[in-house]
Amino acid sequence: MKKRIFFISRQPETDHLGAYIFFNSKDYENYIFARDEDLQLECNNLKALFEKGYAKKIKRLDFQNYSFYYYPLIFFLKIATPFMRKILRKNFYLFNSYIFKFLDKILSKKFLNKFKNVDIFLDHNNSTRIKDVLLERLTIGENKIVALPHSYHYAKNRKKWMKAFSSYEKCWANEIYTYGNLHLNQFESYLPKNITKKTLFPYKFQKEWFFLKLDYFRKFRSHKVKELNKLNFNKEDVVVYLDSPFIQKEYSGKRKELLNSLKKKYFVIHVPHSRNFRPSIKNNCFMWREDICELIYRYDKFIGIFTTLSIDLSQFKKLYITCSYLREPDFECYDEIIGATKVANNQEEVFKLLKSQPNTNAQEKFLKKINLKFL
């Protein structure tokens, strides 16, 4: 079987990468590497792939990767890493990069020969970062190097996403997969000229992948499922607040005011963005730092600022309200323009819209525009 390597880093991107592996594993032997630390391999999506045999994990701190002369060092690092993570906190990844830089130089020939000239797939973050020593050593041959999507962009006013889109200028893969012309048009002008562009079927948004994630979340995180069961609220009385990854202090007062008002009428579940799982404002709402699939399956009312989760919510015919007054002006997203996602311009409109039903006709139109359908 032909070998393939997948490099992962950030949590949200494992969803797109994992779905690609799930639907495209036939005749391939897939290996997943973590870029920054082995703990990145422990997210539920990847654990599901490992357990079902769709992929194998390759840990950076694995004795098999090195000559036995270095076993004492690897043993020491395995023990020391959890303590260093607590001590260094924000500087832990920087510290780890120096450790990996040394370790990658002493990898055994057996390990390197095993992955010689294999196809390499990168999540977006890895495809735009400077190569580490391991990637340098693995890409010295005639490799096919593919950059996978990290999100499905469907913004009309792309100027507001300029910083995110401009990161594609640094993409060093020789192929990039996108979800079609609507997606590609958002950032095509930033791509290096020599890169080959290919259209990828949106596997991440397929029914089989969603329910695989849901099943394995309930298996690996059963205690969190029990927490939700204990809440004992009717779903009509629950509002899920989808937070922004951006702090934006100028909006923190209004965001806090909204949450406090919502808590008087609803039970609020606060979901920090999965990029860092850090809430943009401090509050005493029920905090959910887990996979969103369980909440999408259980509840019907969602409020946010802006998020590509509007695709998932439309697929399940959920009511999703974005608060335009809690973000910078001039954001234009197709789902909001056609009414698939409802827009509140002030707090009063939020409560008014919470009593409404989702516009399923608009949601169907939105999904059709991006080549998807209801699940």
DSSP string, 214-270: HHHHHHHTHHHHHHHHHH---GGGEEEEE--S---HHHHHHHHHHHHHHHHHSEEEE
- SS3 assignment, position 160: helix
The residue segments making up the domain with residue 189 are 2-205
Percent pLDDT > 70 in the chain is 97
The three-point CA angle 209-210-214 to 5° equals 115
Average pLDDT over residues 37-65: 94
My answer on whether 114 and 244 are in the same domain is: no
Find the CATH number of the domain harbouring 292: 3.40.50.12580
pLDDT band at 9 (very low <50, low <70, confident <90, very high): confident
My answer on whether 269 and 365 are in the same domain is: yes
My answer on whether 257 and 124 are in the same domain is: no
* 138-192 confidence digits (pLDDT tens): 998 788 999 998 888 766 655 656 777 788 999 999 999 999 888 888 888 899 9
* 153 occurs within a structural domain: yes
Put the strands of the sheet holding 319-323 in their side by side order.
Answer: 286-287, 267-271, 238-242, 301-304, 319-323, 342-344
* Of the candidate ranges 17-31, 208-222, 267-281, the one whose mean pLDDT is the lowest: 267-281
Please, are residues 171 and 149 in contact by the beta-carbon 8 Å criterion? no
Please, are residues 270 and 277 in contact by the beta-carbon 8 Å criterion? no
Kindly report the average pLDDT of the chain as a whole number.
91
Average pLDDT over residues 347-354: 97
- Domain boundary (154, 170, 205) is at 205
- Categorise residue 179: left if φ over 0, alpha if ψ from -120 to 50, beta otherwise: alpha
Average pLDDT over residues 327-345: 89
* Of the candidate ranges 20-29, 261-270, 289-298, 303-312, the one whose mean pLDDT is the lowest: 303-312
Residue 296 pLDDT exceeds 90: yes
My answer on whether 236 and 166 are in the same domain is: no
My answer on whether 117 and 245 are in the same domain is: no
Domain count, the chain: 2
My answer on whether 143 and 264 are in the same domain is: no
Average pLDDT over residues 37-63: 94
pLDDT band at 317 (very low <50, low <70, confident <90, very high): very high
Q: What is the pLDDT of residue 277?
A: 78
Q: What is the pLDDT of residue 157?
A: 59
My answer on whether 20 and 82 are in the same domain is: yes
Residue 330 pLDDT exceeds 80: no
> What secondary structure letter does DSSP report for 107?
B
Q: What is the pLDDT of residue 320?
A: 97
Q: What is the pLDDT of residue 357?
A: 96
My answer on whether 355 and 257 are in the same domain is: yes
* 146 occurs within a structural domain: yes
Residue 11 pLDDT exceeds 80: no
pTM of the model: 0.92
* 129 occurs within a structural domain: yes
* 221 occurs within a structural domain: no
Q: What is the pLDDT of residue 57?
A: 95
* 225 occurs within a structural domain: no
Find the CATH number of the domain harbouring 75: 3.40.50
* 214 occurs within a structural domain: no
